[in-house]
Structure 1
Amino acid sequence: MSAPASSPVFRRYVALGDSFTEGVGDPDPVRPNGLRGWADRVAEVLALQDPDFRYANLAVRGRLLGPILEEQLDAAIALEPDLVTIYAGGNDLIRPRIDIDALASTYDAALGRLAATGATLGVFTAFDPGAGGPFGRLRGRFALYNERVREIAEGHGAVVLDSWRMRPEHPELLWSEDRLHLGPLGHRAVAAEVLTTLGVPHDLDATDPTGAIGDSPFKAGRRADVDWLVRHAVPWVRRRLTGRSSGDDVEPKRPTLQPI
């Protein structure tokens, strides 16, 4: 697939963030960290535009916004990208206490540094957790944070990659069995949304999650609920109580620019 003359061509793509960008929920044993994810899928399409295309993914699961910026910002700028995407703040939003204004101020300064590089900057909003589910009571907090993200992105001329406004026909099919991360269908849907928002032509089909893309690992029902509680919810709560993170022993899966 070749890009029309009017579409952007990117040669040095760097992805920053947490588990969402690392690709948790989209397993692939032959890839670094055993994960594929939406950012890999975007890179695969971008690589078709230019044989010299290179891609780095600095994201690490479990990271709060502060550590993401401390560990990944300088490294990303040093790679001299022409495209940067970042998702940060999601893990902060589910903490018991959060100062959204302080979080936004920190994020604003960091995005200013990324924008100053001249790279195209794509900034994600958080997903809508819905009225139910494990984070339904935090829906207002998510909405407020997203409005600040849109405001900050506008101030820096960044592209808003608006996960909040994604409204798939069968949203339950986009999630992994842990109900916290996207599954393969969700990662593919996000990749399609990112490419479309950037104006990059692609043939990723995210319109028929029940057929064209494959089965979802998400399971519903009482038995599935009990299994989820034991296998995923309890360990997640235990980590929160002990101050541990799922990413404590994880390294970025693509710390340098490489062909995809």
Structure 2
Amino acid sequence: MTGQVLGGKDFTNGGNAQKDAVGHGTKMASIIAGHGHGAGNSCGVIGLAPRAKILPLRTLQTRSDRNLDETWGAAVRYAVDHGAKVVNLSFGNDGGKTLSEGRDAIAYAESHDVIVVASSGNDGASEVIEPAALPGVVSVGAVDNHANLWEDSNKGKGLALTAPGADIVGADPTKSNGYGVGSGTSDATAFVSGAAALVRAKFPDLTAGQVINRLLKSATFANHKGLKAPDEEYGYGIVRP
């Protein structure tokens, strides 16, 4: 990620937006924009959009901290105001429903032609959580390495896309070797954000809505024949960049 991570901002008063004591944000960033390292970039993680720039916005310091609407909402607005074209929200809202600060921030992003991508949830429930369930947000569920719905992926009305989310390897500064493996709709969300970044880079004149439409229209149901989009388990299909 050297050279691709911008200064960003810490919204927790902790001082350093690039310090990740949890590891989650770094893993998502590596899925999106990792470019490897070493001879021929043969080591490390290669992300889906390895030339993308990452704007790190820190909204919590430890895993036990609550990710408050007013905090991540301010981060979304900051991202929009500082040129972000895609906002990755690999989290579910604390307390269930998104408060006005979060809702207004997402509406602000959408009004400025920014794509907002969020995870459907890891409860195996038949309901997409917020903020993924909010209007205009690209909600993402997870599939395993057989293109089947990951067992804990939330599904239901409003699901837009699915993407790989089972046993995903990524950069993790909290691990001794710098890498971690795990599963979740957060990882799937990062893959969709990476795909959106690729389309925006290739076709800079497309609106956010047109980019989202391309992602939906080009998705695949893979080996799941006979499904009709939108499907409550797979949405419009598995993202296919």
Question: Into which bin does the TM-score normalised by the smaller protein fall?
Answer: 0.3 to 0.5
- TM-score under structure 2 normalisation? 0.43
- Larger RCO (CA under 8 A, 6+ residues apart): 1
Larger relative helix fraction = 1
What is the TM-score when the length of structure 1 is the normalising length? Answer: 0.40
